[in-house]
Amino acid sequence: MSHEQIAVTVDVVIFALRDNDLQVLLVKRKYPPYEGLWAIPGGYVQADESLEDAAARELREETGIGVGELETGATVPYIEQLYTFGDPGRDPRGRVITIAYFALVPAPLVIQAGSDASDAEWKPVRPLPQMAFDHARIVQYALKRLRYKLEYSAVGFQLLPPVFTLSALQRAYETILGETLDKRNFRRRILQAQVIEQTGQYQTGEGRPAMLYRFREDAVAEVKARRLFP
């Protein structure tokens, strides 16, 4: 039957903050089709692994970061299913559908991609380099989802090291959203939300030392949307 021909892959859009910029981990294609263009890391789903396992495996293969689970059920680093892309013709070699995931990895934990086994490199999301298949569309979709989630949940912390200053957190939000935020309002809101707590440590450097904070794992990190109807 015709449906048996379909190949199933998992692709993972991996974001990190590097050099004060939102970057995505891409691999350069060595063979046709699209030789020399950039692609999202991915691979075939094996017969005995779940989609989530396949996505976690891809993430580990490219970054060296293993996926763990917290008591809350959330994963570290953050990974979630994004969308499934399956247009006929999206791969010239045959019918391939891909379940796309997106992942957020904390900057300092990132194993330097491209150093040895992997040929992956971090690339800024804008401008995005020329990409293979429909992968530009997938990255754009992931970016849209990231910005959206940033507004009503606390995923932003997943891109920061375990302890961070409020200024670093604000810079992270400004980098991803592409807009500047008011310092006083930002600090008031995030402290009110009770999603972070002081560590008691300070970070020194240029200027006045800054309090270091950590994310509270037990925090209820969702905000109610303003409902269209009461």
Partner DNA sequence: TCAAAAGTGTTTGTGGTACACCCATGG
Partner DNA sequence: CCATGGGTGTACCACAAACACTTTTGA
Which residues are at the interface with a copy of itself (CB under 8 A)? Answer: 1-9, 44-51, 81, 83-84, 86-88, 95, 97, 99, 150-154, 156, 173, 181-182, 185-186, 189-190, 193, 223-230
Give me the least distance between CB of 215 and DNA, in Å please.
16
With left for phi above 0 and alpha for psi between -120 and 50, is residue 117 left, alpha or beta?
Answer: alpha
Binding partner of residue 6 among a copy of itself, DNA, none, CB cut-off 5 to 8 Å per kind: a copy of itself
Q: Which is nearer to a copy of itself, 8 or 37 (CB)?
A: 8
- Distance from C-alpha of 180 to C-alpha of 177, rounded to nearest angstrom: 8
Q: Is residue 119 within 8 Å of residue 28, measured between CB atoms?
A: yes
| Residue 34 binding partner per list a copy of itself, DNA, none, with a CB distance cut-off of 5 to 8 Å that depends on partner kind | none
Cα 106 to Cα 108: distance, rounded to the nearest angstrom: 6
* Cβ pair 26, 123 in contact under 8 A: yes
**Residue nearer to DNA on the CB measure, 3 or 208:** 208
Compute the least distance from the CB of residue 229 to DNA, in Å.
Answer: 8
Give the footprint of DNA on this chain (CB under 7 A).
165-167, 182-185, 187-189, 204-211, 226-227, 230
* Look-up of token digits 């890391």: 41
Smallest distance, Å, CB 78 to DNA? Answer: 23
Q: How far is the CB of 203 from DNA (least distance, A)?
A: 8
Q: Closest CB to DNA among 127 and 207?
A: 207
CA atoms within 13 A on the CB side of 18: 20
Given a copy of itself, DNA, none, residue 166, with its beta carbon under 5 to 8 Å by kind, binds DNA
Which residue, 44 or 152, has its beta carbon nearer to DNA? Answer: 152
12 vs 139: CA distance, rounded Å: 9
Question: Integer distance in angstroms from the first to the last C-alpha of the chain?
Answer: 50
191: nearest Cα among 163, 171, 216:
216
> Which residues share a beta bridge with 28?
38
8 binds, among a copy of itself, DNA, none (CB under 5 to 8 A by kind): a copy of itself
CB closer to DNA, 5 vs 204 = 204
